Structure 1
Amino acid sequence: MTQRILPHGSWPSPISADDVAHRSGAPNWPAALGDEVFWTESRPAEGGRVTVCRRRLREAGEAATVLPSPWNVRSRVHEYGGQPYTALRGAEGTTLVFSEFSDQRLYRHPPDSDRSPAPLTPEPGVPSAVRYVEPVAGPGGDEVWCLRETRTGPAPTDVARALVAVPLDGSAARDAGAVRVVASGPRFLACPRVSPDGRRLSWIGWDHPNMPWDSTFLYVAEIAADGTASGVRTLAGGDDEAVVQAEWSGETTLYCVTDPSGWWNPHRITLPEPEGGTAPSSAPPEPVNLARREEEFGGPLWQLGQRWLLPLRDGRLATLHGRGALSLGILAPDTGDITDLASPHTEWTAKLAVAGADGRTLVGIAASPDIPAEVVAVSLSDGTWQPLNRASGAAEDDPHRAYFPNPRERRFTGPDGREIHASLYPPRNPDAAAPHGELPPYVVWAHGGPTGRSPMVHDREIAYFTSRGLGVVEVNYGGSTGYGRAYRERLRGNWGVVDVQDCVAVARELGEEGSVDPQRLAIRGGSAGGWTTAAALAFTSVFQCGTILCPIVDLVGWRTGETHDFESQYLETLVGPWPRERERYEQRSPVNHAASVTAPFVLLQGLEDEICPPVQCERFLAGFEGRDVPHAYLTFAGEQHGFRKAESVRAAVQAELSLYAQVFGFETDAAAVALRPHG
């Protein structure tokens, strides 16, 4: 077929906004009971709800949806949630215990019966004021233990958290007193794990102003006769050390992922035999590093329940590890040797489970530039793998496969010669090419977090733009996870400086090497990436337009009550101590520099966002009153932090493409968004 010669941005593409909207839900949170493998899936076409799916190993056919509409399996603990369900084996067979989004209560559901889910926890006096996450089987088999978050007052920081035991017989749905507090303190809790003999409990905790990638502690306690934690001891963690996961292997061995060396490495802690509920007099054992490498075997606890490491029955450990992208490997704890498992996937997420009656199948979520995120089962017996959430070969049969970009990793040079990691997605379309000599416009994508990372994977939203002739570069700026603590802490005290400088440096270097049109550069990002985008438009002149999604734009407001408890003191490290550094907060906030923003922009915001609330956008827009700066403000009812509904995703990507078409001067098939001066 002869290629059509058309300007960048106007290439005809079969990847529509509907394609992006309806395929934006990736599988998540795998769990297993023998040969039964479960996972969650988002359903954008069903209002963005999350359901649970199931498939048995070696079972032919499609996975079954376990929970029909309108059930929505999603926790709001920390607002970011985490593992929202668990699968248990009881007298009645398989049982799911899950957090229902609409009321945040725990429910019990036997997937092999016709019964509807039944509540396990009481209905709170204030809707969704009591939330649960990361459920695990209790030691006696008649309870589920999980983390509970309770709103205690009107302020976002009026929150109490505890590790609680919930009876599986449903008695707590009628009597709130039936929910027993097992342990509490410090302010934030994560990773509750019961030892195989049911005699010990471990968990992770931290306090303000730390975030869980700054400083956390690993605790262990004996489980007393009354089912509460007794004789609590600290085993690992401390200042500038963050334990992010711990798992039992036998009664006295605890494996944990922590970073005293500046890299999250796997460690082993060998405990003495339990002493019947009394605190032992001996000093806690020292954690032993099992693989001292300048690689990450862990990551930030933005969501609770992540698993980078799992003990196997044969004494080895399944582990995710790498710099940037994570590979799946098997670690021999006595030698530190790691054998990577072969599959075409280049990125594995921190969502591991062990399946199979013999425990010799690993299940995880993986992707590559050619394969969308999928549930993958890998046999430890013969190394073979299979996708569980789709038919084998479905990715290869994608009719749009030729329209996806061929990305590549890049390293750029920032101020003072510092290294910047990024992923480059050049335009690609087999049916079209640009006129000779025309350089492509590029969009710099700044990820959220800011302690996050953009993986280089199959992304239909990116392909929506690159297949039309726009390039995309995702910048893992200083502060990103995946490259060690020192890289992550470049942002300490420098948020709004280092992240912006790194995005600018990447854009400029691409322009200098002749890969992009330096007069047609855009920047976009959501949440913390929305902050970086707004700051780049306010404090630099490199970008001709920007797309700002659910942003932070006013540091003072965000630090003094306009966000949730989890991040309410995050700025203490990102910016500086409050209120001592108030002037710095004010100087860096784009809301106070709207007069410096002259580039057109689109601002997109969920109206139920408690992390970056709409008031931040409204305050920012007030600075454009009476000014001739073209922009659009789109709000989405029923959306929180990020967009889940198909109609919201569709409108957002079309608005973004329409902005670029109007600013860069090309024709587009996207629905036009009106860019008007404010007031």
Structure 2
Amino acid sequence: MVKIASYGTWTSPISAGDTSKPGGGFQWADLHGEQVWWAESRPAQGGRVALVRDGVEVLPAPWNARNRVHEYGGRPFVVLAPDRVAFTHWDDQRVYVFDPDSPEPKPLTEEPGRHHGVRYSDLSAGPDGEVWCVRESVTGDARTDVRRDLVAITRSGEVRVLGASHHFMTGPKISPDGTRFAWIGWNHPQMPWDGTELCVAEVGSDTHEVVSGSATEAVCQFEWEGDSLLALTDPDGWWNLFRVSPDGTRTNLAPCEEELGGPMWRLGNRWFATLSPGRYLVVRSGQLAVLDERSATVTDVQTDLPTWVPDLSVRDGVVVCAAAGPTSDFAVVRLDLSNGELTYLTGGEESPEAAYLPVPVERMFGEIPAYVYAPSNPDFAGPEGELPPYVVHVHGGPTGRALPKLDSDIAYLTSRGIGVVAVNYGGSTGYGRAFRERLREQWGVVDVQDCAFVAQQLAAEGTADPKRLGIRGGSAGGWTSAASLTSTDVYRCGMVAFPILDLAGWTSQGGETHDFESRYVEGLVGTLPEAADRYRDRSPSTKARQVSGPVLLLQGLEDEICPPEQADRFAADLAGSGIPHAYLRFAGEQHGFRMAENIKAALEAELSFYGQAFGFVPAGVPVLDLSE
């Protein structure tokens, strides 16, 4: 029998502990012969990343297959032969090699002179059993004191520099004939979705040639095809697949106003893979599709899973990848494209909580795409005449996007009667360069306005309670949440996780972020000193006491991307203001939380926070202590 109870007070079998299961942490799936390899996060084991072969863990604790190049990391392993695998280990960032059937990996590179002083990423197989990759070296004490080289690591552990064309580079890939190698490079102030260059050099040469890309064209992936290159790039404003011939001719294999690529936040993503000559598997804005060069078409592959990660691995018409659906978390799957047979290599079981999971509804609010997750619980309904509270979920990046997949955090809230809307504000990816560049010099304006417009529209149409609107986000989403609370009166409260709060500090001059994003703000807000007023006026740090309602701050203490200094100062400014707030700091956490106990504590605190702000008492969670 359905019970009538106020929104937010519903009970649910979806617990905060469910959100820390490893379902969202399957990554870097790869095929090697008949073997399927992947990396798998383990929140219950301190957030370490295990290496798995055919469903069997081959890299047990305490080994942690993860690296911190650009702080976001990249492809952490490469299978060199059935009996030889190379991987990066988080604790010391060295490259190790091991036989999965033997007990102990052996270090391939030397121990750095300082903690995490030398890092490796985007591993690939070179000639003679070598590992080819990017090496990142710390050269000083500032967060931006970093240089990068393309290197080859021999079987004996000798490291040979292949080249260093740009400040940032992807791992090098050798041509099939072994005479040339290629990579992608870019320099500040460009980010890799602004402009990159696809470079080719003769093995052993000190010079290279740029064959595609520019300061305003972004190549995001390439692969060798004989003596030509296949490249995802966007000269016409959309990431399409091109062939770059040895004579420099570029051919768009299927011109379309569709995004077949994406932002290169991590090194080693694969948005496309070759099926056969002239046929390619692509990830089109999260959806699996086949590009046919002869007909110049891109056709969706019909599956029950609408969201595929850009990590395609293909062999003989079979694709292995991680995929998810609206009511199913990410799983590693094998799809036979010849007959459509889908096999789950992880997960796949019907969730006992399936009836409590919200199904996202894609909507357009004017020109703003969003996914609406209505309160969903078969055991409860709200009282007649009561509208549910709604929380705007702001994705990170800001060059990122929301996708129609299961989000356990969102399900935790909706199953208790709190609606969520995930907004793809101007600047989000998946809608072409022009939409992405709506945010250029407008960060803190366009994103804030778009999110507020969606929230107000939901209230105006009678979907959400206009007096109980909230906002939540982490990283760049934390920025938009804080900027919204300090520049609009739309929201009753907001959750702000590991945020950017002070624009001037979050620059190379301010020293409060890492090298990769240290000049990101120049494109998002403007250059200094010309835009100094903009930096000051938009920063939530300058107006903490102007927030429109209660604030929950969450911060990892080992975060190098959004270090705790900014959240510390913001919390200090709130102290004694009379504004209800809480600041939870998590030891051992970096950017985003990986440990099960911290994931659980943060989500339970957020639910209690909403209860106090929106005027209900949630069941079964500790009461968060709010200070004023």
Give, in whole Å, the separation in 2 of the partners of 1:25 and 1:486. 30
Give, in whole Å, the separation in 1 of the partners of 2:153 and 2:103. 20
Whether 2:336 is the aligned partner of 1:376: answer no
Of residues 302, 305, 310, the one that matches 2:268 is 305
Q: Conserved in 1, the CA contact under 8 Å of 2:93 and 2:119?
A: yes
Whether 2:159 is the aligned partner of 1:185: answer no
Q: Give the secondary-structure state (helix, strand or coil) at the position aligned to 1:495.
A: coil
Give, in whole Å, the separation in 1 of the partners of 2:318 and 2:179. 28
Q: Conserved in 2, the CA contact under 8 Å of 1:607 and 1:613?
A: yes
1:231 to partner: Cα distance? 4.2
Range moving further from structure 2, 326-335 or 480-489: 326-335
1:119 to partner: Cα distance? 0.5
Of residues 198, 204, 212, the one that matches 2:184 is 204
Q: Give the secondary-structure state (helix, strand or coil) at the position aligned to 2:201.
A: strand
Give, in whole Å, the separation in 1 of the partners of 2:166 and 2:102. 41
Distance 1:23 1:36, change over 3 A: closer
Give, in whole Å, the separation in 2 of the partners of 1:520 and 1:313. 54
Of residues 342, 348, 353, the one that matches 1:385 is 342
Could you report, residue by residue, the CA deviation over 1:569-592 in whole angstroms, capped at 9, with x for unpaired residues? Answer: 001100001122111101111110
Q: Conserved in 2, the CA contact under 8 Å of 1:74 and 1:101?
A: yes
1:246-285 correspondence to structure 2 within 5 Å: 246-250=222-226, 252-271=227-246, 284-285=247-248
Give, in whole Å, the separation in 2 of the partners of 1:304 and 1:189. 9
Q: Give the secondary-structure state (helix, strand or coil) at the position aligned to 2:534.
A: helix
Corresponding residue pairs, total: 625
Give, in whole Å, the separation in 1 of the partners of 2:444 and 2:128. 50
1:145-224 correspondence to structure 2 within 5 Å: 145-169=132-156, 172=157, 178-223=158-203
1:126-525 correspondence to structure 2 within 5 Å: 126-138=114-126, 140-169=127-156, 172=157, 178-223=158-203, 228-250=204-226, 252-271=227-246, 284-321=247-284, 325-355=285-315, 359-390=316-347, 393-394=348-349, 397-413=350-366, 419-525=367-473
Q: Percent identity?
A: 51
Give, in whole Å, the separation in 2 of the partners of 1:420 and 1:182. 45
Of residues 116, 122, 137, the one that matches 2:104 is 116
In structure 2, the partner of 1:279 is none
In structure 2, the partner of 1:656 is 606
Q: Give the secondary-structure state (helix, strand or coil) at the position aligned to 1:372.
A: strand
Q: Give the secondary-structure state (helix, strand or coil) at the position aligned to 1:555.
A: coil
Q: Conserved in 1, the CA contact under 8 Å of 2:491 and 2:548?
A: no
Give, in whole Å, the separation in 2 of the partners of 1:624 and 1:373. 38
After TM superposition, the score normalised by the length of structure 1 is 0.90
Give, in whole Å, the separation in 2 of the partners of 1:362 and 1:598. 49
1:388 to partner: Cα distance? 1.2
In structure 2, the partner of 1:125 is 113
CA RMSD of aligned residues (A): 1.3
Give, in whole Å, the separation in 1 of the partners of 2:473 and 2:155. 43
Could you report, residue by residue, the CA deviation over 1:545-568 in whole angstroms, capped at 9, with x for unpaired residues? Answer: 100000000011112211000000
Distance 1:141 1:313, change over 3 A: farther
Give, in whole Å, the separation in 2 of the partners of 1:549 and 1:366. 26
Q: Which amino acid aligns with 1:304?
A: L
Q: Give the secondary-structure state (helix, strand or coil) at the position aligned to 1:488.
A: helix
1:332 to partner: Cα distance? 2.2
Segments of structure 2 that go 5 or more residues without pairing to the other structure are none
Q: Conserved in 1, the CA contact under 8 Å of 2:550 and 2:580?
A: yes
Whether 2:84 is the aligned partner of 1:95: answer yes
Q: Conserved in 2, the CA contact under 8 Å of 1:135 and 1:146?
A: yes
Q: Conserved in 1, the CA contact under 8 Å of 2:23 and 2:330?
A: no
In structure 2, the partner of 1:552 is 500
1:335 to partner: Cα distance? 2.9
Whether 2:628 is the aligned partner of 1:671: answer no
1:338 to partner: Cα distance? 3.0
Give, in whole Å, the separation in 1 of the partners of 2:281 and 2:176. 18
Whether 2:12 is the aligned partner of 1:16: answer no
Could you report, residue by residue, the CA deviation over 1:228-253 in whole angstroms, capped at 9, with x for unpaired residues? Answer: 34541110111311001110112x12
Q: Give the secondary-structure state (helix, strand or coil) at the position aligned to 2:31.
A: strand
Give, in whole Å, the separation in 1 of the partners of 2:341 and 2:534. 55
Give, in whole Å, the separation in 1 of the partners of 2:299 and 2:380. 43
Distance 1:153 1:468, change over 3 A: same
Segments of structure 1 that go 5 or more residues without pairing to the other structure are 56-62, 173-177, 272-283, 414-418
Whether 2:33 is the aligned partner of 1:34: answer yes
1:285 to partner: Cα distance? 1.0
Give, in whole Å, the separation in 2 of the partners of 1:134 and 1:14. 40
After TM superposition, the score normalised by the length of structure 2 is 0.98
In structure 2, the partner of 1:576 is 526
Give, in whole Å, the separation in 2 of the partners of 1:18 and 1:313. 44
1:511-660 correspondence to structure 2 within 5 Å: 511-559=459-507, 560-660=510-610
Distance 1:375 1:53, change over 3 A: same
Q: Conserved in 1, the CA contact under 8 Å of 2:24 and 2:330?
A: no
Could you report, residue by residue, the CA deviation over 1:163-188 in whole angstroms, capped at 9, with x for unpaired residues? Answer: 1001123xx3xxxxx20001112100
Q: Give the secondary-structure state (helix, strand or coil) at the position aligned to 2:80.
A: strand
Q: Which amino acid aligns with 2:4?
A: I
